[in-house]
Structure 1
């Protein structure tokens, strides 16, 4: 059962981010699945991968109707919500996620209750209804089962407070996220949480802590070969240097970040640097 939940969590995570590591062929779904509902979910993912979201929605709804137990219904209604979100039919997405939470409760599956609340939070965040997003993320955080999940929840809460211009609260929760990720997180999670912590320190004018945090992650990224995070931390540190009046160092940091983007052919990173620093001087 733990393996089943792990695999489904991975599948949902991929779907939420619209990432498909494999080219799913619709006509092979029936061969791969032993149950009708599983074949339908496979077909829905295949249709979504081909950007046929309306077709995917129809199939996922049929999968929900074919599901015989609360856990299967949880998966189907979550996928329906994801598809509505991708279609930007936000109210229908929220309704589906709420149903998914009810199904998860009936299945006594706290992990998927948490996923449902995070999904609702992401919809509200996308709609800029930040108070509602915060409420959903807070509900999700109460259901976190381990420090990794708590770290993810704290980052969601921190970012929402940041977007609400509540920078002291953003810093409070980002410190919690950093502590979680520094002990149990992946290298990516640790690097990201460190950069966000440096950013929030700067926004609360705690420049000494910001510089210390960012220099630490720049050193770590160099040692670990994390060029993206080195560049990102460098341009955030440049903002701190500007606030401190050290314009030459700030310009050097931005030039270094842009050189990393050029050397790694990361055009998205280069654009990110340009957007984040265009009004800096």
Structure 2
């Protein structure tokens, strides 16, 4: 399977809007750069007419240019390696590739090779989720990681002491990538599963849920997250903008999920809720 790289040059305030729009038409991986961002999807899911419609709609707001190209799957790692830089989150967590040296003076060192999966830690939502994870006691917990991407949040959960982690994603290559990354980090408690919330029908409750997906999926599946969470247990959400937080709060409240607090980074949000 090959992939589409959409390169967008746009001012930051417009780029944030375009990322949200493109997420609605099949793009699931985004990387910021100084000129704007790059968005990725599979060649099969790529809808050029939908992209052109989005770009035309916002063309009068600011300087906006875009182009796309095909990246073969076998070339993805080479493309990524040329641009990936190691990252430190909250001065405690290192996120790096296998070809980077381990840094000194960090509590946790995560090695990630993302292939075509979302979640290197460089996107605001992933970094925010990890920061929130650092504030939540994981010791001995059974954790659900929905929309696992590279598996980075599941790996963080095990490193923080989770006894069992179920990492779920809807894309086969993503699940394969998450498994490989879990093995790279010598994880022993992580199960990677292909599917969506429908695969959780017979699952026992979880002590902690991590859901870094997007606004629409979170809203649609909120009732299932709530069903799987016992009273007094936390759930961490991300994948949406600050302006969408009231919608997330309202839907969560319908299902007994009480808002606790949130973090923001360049308009993105990660929020912590608790089951009443």
TM over 0.5: no
Q: Work out which structure has the larger RCO, using CA pairs closer than 8 Å and 6 or more positions apart in sequence.
A: 2
After TM superposition, the score normalised by the length of structure 2 is 0.28
Pick the structure with greater CA Rg: 1
After TM superposition, the score normalised by the length of structure 1 is 0.28
